[in-house]
Structure 1
Amino acid sequence: MGAIYLIRHGQASFGAADYDKLSGTGVEQGSVVGAELLRRKIRFTEGRTGSMARQRATADLVLDWLGADAVAKEDPRWNEYDHVDIVARHGGGVPQQAGDPRGYQEVLDASLAAWVRAGETGPCAETWPAFAERVRSALADLVAVLRKGESAVVFTSGGVIGTLAGHLLGNPEMGLLQLNRVTVNGGITKLVSGRGGVTLVSFNEHAHFEGRAARLLTYR
């Protein structure tokens, strides 16, 4: 049985000119995740990361803890949905404002629901069905290269993780709209693959952000 650990990237720079850059908190979160994976003594035979800067930077921080042999191959299929395009097409193009993250989140939530409802005929460059299919294919290809007893680590985003978790529970739409909403930066989701297919065994683990590290717990 193989294991796949999906890591949500550290906190991005909400409201800044370059949202895709890790915030100072995001950098700290990446180091905490690296220490947590090192503590677990998991040997990863495969690593993947999306091509977004916040995903790649998180991968670099975590893998630095795991040693020189740990690498993550870049695969853009692990990238997050384009929230700017989705809000532009379904939410009136409301901009991110550093002083009102909650207001923007409400607009994004409504826009994502509209994106799902629009289906294949939606106006976005990437429709919801296309997004769901690309993340499923990324997971399937990773599972295919894992041998018995091997583990993989993936650095990706909340929408990807929520959608895949929902898919494995039989409802990818619920995963995007509800599970995605509660994913924490630096959270760990574990999947296992075996003869019966892929199973979700844990979602959004974040005990590594409790106690002294509680100040680093963020959702956006």
Structure 2
Amino acid sequence: MAELLVIRHGQASFGQDNYDVLSDLGHRQSESVGALLRELDWQPDRLVTGTLKRQKDTLSSMGFDTAPEEHAGFNEYNFDDLLNARFKGNVPDMVIGDRRTHFRALRETVFEWQDAAFDGASETYAEFAARVEAARAFATDTEAKRVLVVSSGGVIGQLTATALGADKRHMMELNLQVKNTAMTRFMFKGARCSLHEFNATPHFMSPGGAALLSYS
């Protein structure tokens, strides 16, 4: 069996004009998980990211200089686009400016998206699920024994729910749990892919490391 290690990107710039940029904390989180992998002598044979800057910069800050392969299926769903579709362009100010309201709206909006309760989004949930599965197939169609992927929380939630055979709602419950630079590990052989470890952050399990913990 081979390993597929999927790491969520480091903390991005929540509330800023360009979310797709790592914060200073995001860079430190990435350095920490990269140092842990080297300490464990876990050397990837293949590197893959989505096309998002925060994903590629996470890999770089982890200390991997080799240019990764890219697959857009590992990109996050576009939450701003979903909000605009759900609220028909009139997104309430609290959804944008208040963190608690934002994440409650995220959960509710994704559930409605899964049920096709609104239209106008650039991607349906079915299309999102299909591209994530295509990305997984791309990453595991290899002779490599250790594949490292940097992706995003929604994608990791979808990959995990699929591996568990869980219903679509479970994808979002998992999504909201995924910590920045958490490691989710799958074992694969051919078309078989099973969950081995979810949302692990041993690099935060010290007094100093605990200060690096974030979810967004």
* Displacement after TM superposition at 1:194 (Å): 2.2
Q: Is the 8 A contact 1:56 1:155 kept in 2?
A: yes
Identify, as 1 or 2, the structure richer in helix: 1
The whole-number CA distance in structure 1 between the counterparts of 2:191 and 2:142 is 16
The whole-number CA distance in structure 2 between the counterparts of 1:40 and 1:58 is 19
* Aligned partner (choices 128, 132, 144) of residue 131 of structure 1: 128
The whole-number CA distance in structure 2 between the counterparts of 1:83 and 1:145 is 32
Aligned counterpart, 1:186: 181
The whole-number CA distance in structure 2 between the counterparts of 1:20 and 1:130 is 22
**1:50-199 matches, cutoff 5 A:** 50-62=50-62, 64=63, 66=64, 68=65, 70-91=66-87, 92-94=90-92, 97=96, 100-118=98-116, 122-147=119-144, 150-171=145-166, 173-194=168-189, 197-199=192-194
* Displacement after TM superposition at 1:177 (Å): 1.3
Q: Is 1:205–2:200 an aligned residue pair?
A: yes
Q: Is 1:47–2:47 an aligned residue pair?
A: yes
The whole-number CA distance in structure 1 between the counterparts of 2:40 and 2:6 is 15
* Displacement after TM superposition at 1:48 (Å): 0.4
Report Cα offsets for 1:93-139 as digits up to 9, x if no partner: 246645x21111111111011000108x8431110000000010111
Q: Is the 8 A contact 1:188 1:203 kept in 2?
A: yes
Is the alpha carbon distance of 1:18 and 1:145 closer, same or farther for their aligned partners in structure 2, counting shifts above 3 Å?
A: same
Q: Percent same amino acid at aligned positions?
A: 31
Task: Tell me the TM-score normalized by structure 1.
Answer: 0.90
Q: Is the 8 A contact 2:49 2:69 kept in 1?
A: yes
The amino acid that maps onto 2:115 is: R
Q: Is 1:215–2:175 an aligned residue pair?
A: no
Report Cα offsets for 1:17-67 as digits up to 9, x if no partner: 1111111111111101111111121121111011111111101111x2x5x
How many residues end up aligned between the 2 structures?
212
* Structure 2 unmatched runs, 5+: none
The whole-number CA distance in structure 1 between the counterparts of 2:34 and 2:164 is 28
| Aligned-residue RMSD, C-alpha | 1.8
Q: Is the 8 A contact 1:7 1:186 kept in 2?
A: yes
Task: Tell me the TM-score normalized by structure 2.
Answer: 0.91
* SS, match of residue 145 in structure 1: coil
Q: Is the 8 A contact 2:86 2:109 kept in 1?
A: yes
Is the alpha carbon distance of 1:127 and 1:35 closer, same or farther for their aligned partners in structure 2, counting shifts above 3 Å?
A: same
* SS, match of residue 18 in structure 1: coil
Aligned counterpart, 1:32: 32
The whole-number CA distance in structure 2 between the counterparts of 1:127 and 1:172 is 17
